[in-house]
Amino acid sequence: MNNFESAQNPPAHKGGDVLTLKTLNTFAVDVITLPDEDELFWYVAQNVVGRLQFLDCVIYKADEAGTELIQVAALGAKNPHDREILNPLKIPFGQGITGGVAQSKTAVIIDDLLKDQTYIADSEPARSEICVPLVSHGRVVGVIDSEHPEIGAFDAADLEVLTTVAAMTSAKLELLAEVDRSHSQYLALKESHRQLSEEIQNRTALEAEFFNVRKMEAVGQLTGGFAHDFNNLLTVISGNLEFVGLAENEAQRQEYLDEARTAAGRAAKLIQDLLAFSQRMHLRPVRTNLNTMITTICAQNRQRLPGDIQMDLVEDILPVQVDPTAAEIALVNLMINARDAMPHGGTLYIKTENIQHGVADNESLSKNIVPGSYVKLTVSDEGEGIPPEALDQIFDPFFTTKPVGAGTGLGLSMVLGFMQQSGGAVIAKPEVSQGATFELYFPTS
């Protein structure tokens, strides 16, 4: 191998300085628009042979591992097939002149190939050769090679021109790789977006399905429970009515009739509770003074309510807009629950307050009611309280901890349905061992 500066013969590249610069300039501008590697390699080969007047040009691309060169473009006297490589030559790194350039990352000019031991002669042996590496990010990604039938055909100017071409080609290769990377990133992003949308869709479908199952379960529970309770009451009614005919005296007859009447009353309450729960009770809200309602209820239900009732009723209570019958059923339900929770006696507390509920006041309450003016009615007792784990269930229809026949489990469902339908809310506080507290919020009218 010679030092290229010692070349004796005239340069193969004969364009002259100005023409060369112009050519390189055009080259740089054209390269920008080339869409892919294949176009780029052939464009380079065509211009090295064409505009830059080298006799031939062969371009090799390095494989990913950086161990082998593969012919990707070839033009000139020895490569007549134009844009077609019939049988691409493969040269391992380190082998021959091109393989040597790939390994050493250094451009070479060979003045006399016959004197070069690394030269692998082919059918039409050349005499001199120039070969420059394509380097990207410090890695050899290919080589550009040109041969000439005469000795010492290449000089320093040729080397400079070909090195500039190689630099432009490498820069464009980097750009294409970058575009490729961005495109794959875009595709990966698009794919993960597609997967995400699919997952969200699946999840929404699952949630809808789950909701349906829960709904069906609730309906099943509701109708099953209702049918069972209603059937029991009908049996009591019809049984007692049958006994009326068999009664031996008037007193017995009255007793059977009373039993049937009580059962019919309970059946009516069951229907009322159920309707209120399903929010189909026809409420007729009127302006109501809750204090007056409470005192009336207490006076009229003495036998059913706990003996010890303490009331703390606010003096200037604001009127509320509620259906008085439904409000009465709701209150009686709460009071009877309190009575049942205190089998050994205790005090039932009833308190009313005018309150202003603000957005930031009470987080759990804000989930149920909008900010505004309310009458807060608190019913608390000194019974066994509600275990925290049961708190979620007590408002469920037919949830009861009372013995069979003692409770239908619809009382609190009715209270919840009624309060929601009235634009208010009910909140239970589980003060185990200190009794239970129920807070009812009625919007003022």
Ligand X SMILES: Nc1ncnc2c1ncn2[C@@H]1O[C@H](COP(=O)(O)OP(=O)(O)OP(=O)(O)O)[C@@H](O)[C@H]1O
Residue labelled with tokens 């690394």: 118
Burial class, 4, CB count within 10 angstroms (exposed 0-12 / middle 13-18 / buried 19+): buried
222 binds ligand X (CB under 6 A): no
Retrieve residue 109's tokens.
């000019």
List the single partner that 383 binds among ligand X, Mg ion, none, CB under 5 to 8 Å by kind: ligand X
Retrieve residue 147's tokens.
């041969």
Least gap, CB of 395 to ligand X (angstroms): 7
Q: Which stretch binds ligand X (CB under 6 A): 154-162, 237-245, 357-365, 401-409?
A: 401-409
443 binds Mg ion (CB under 5 A): no
Distances (CA, A) of 206 to 186, 192, 194, 196: 30, 20, 18, 15
> Between 225 and 411, whose beta carbon lies closer to Mg ion?
411
Find how far residue 72's CA is from the centre of its chain: 47
Retrieve residue 219's tokens.
């309906």
By CB under 6 A, name the one of 332, 386, 425, 440 that touches ligand X: 386
183 binds ligand X (CB under 6 A): no
Distances (CA, A) of 406 to 51, 234, 274, 435: 105, 16, 17, 20
Residue nearest to Mg ion (CB): 411
Least gap, CB of 439 to ligand X (angstroms): 12
List the single partner that 222 binds among ligand X, Mg ion, none, CB under 5 to 8 Å by kind: none
377 binds ligand X (CB under 6 A): no
Least gap, CB of 248 to Mg ion (angstroms): 37
411 binds Mg ion (CB under 5 A): yes
**How many residues sit in the footprint of Mg ion (CB under 5 A)?**
2
Residue labelled with tokens 């909008």: 370
Q: Which stretch binds ligand X (CB under 6 A): 57-65, 138-146, 349-357, 381-389?
A: 381-389
> Between 49 and 341, whose beta carbon lies closer to ligand X?
341
Q: How far apart are CA 198 and CA 205, in angstroms?
A: 10
Angle between helices 250-277 and 411-421 (to 10 degrees): 50
> Between 32 and 404, whose beta carbon lies closer to ligand X?
404
Retrieve residue 215's tokens.
């709904």
Residue labelled with tokens 């606010």: 314
H or E stretch at 330: helix 324-341
Retrieve residue 145's tokens.
């090679």
By CB under 5 A, name the one of 337, 413, 422, 437 that touches Mg ion: 337
Q: How far apart are CA 192 and CA 79, in angstroms?
A: 47
- Specify the pairing of strand 320-322 against strand 286-288: antiparallel
By CB under 6 A, name the one of 399, 421, 431, 434 that touches ligand X: 399
List the single partner that 230 binds among Mg ion, ligand X, none, CB under 5 to 8 Å by kind: none
59 binds ligand X (CB under 6 A): no
Least gap, CB of 266 to Mg ion (angstroms): 12
Subset of 326-365 contacting ligand X (CB under 6 A): 333, 337-338, 341
Q: How far apart are CA 138 and CA 136, in angstroms?
A: 5
412 binds ligand X (CB under 6 A): yes
C-beta neighbour count of 222 within 10 angstroms: 18
By CB under 6 A, name the one of 400, 417, 418, 441 that touches ligand X: 400
Instruction: Give residues in contact with Mg ion (CB under 5 A).
Output: 337, 411
Instruction: Give residues in contact with ligand X (CB under 6 A).
Output: 333, 337-338, 341, 381, 383-386, 394, 399-402, 407-413, 436
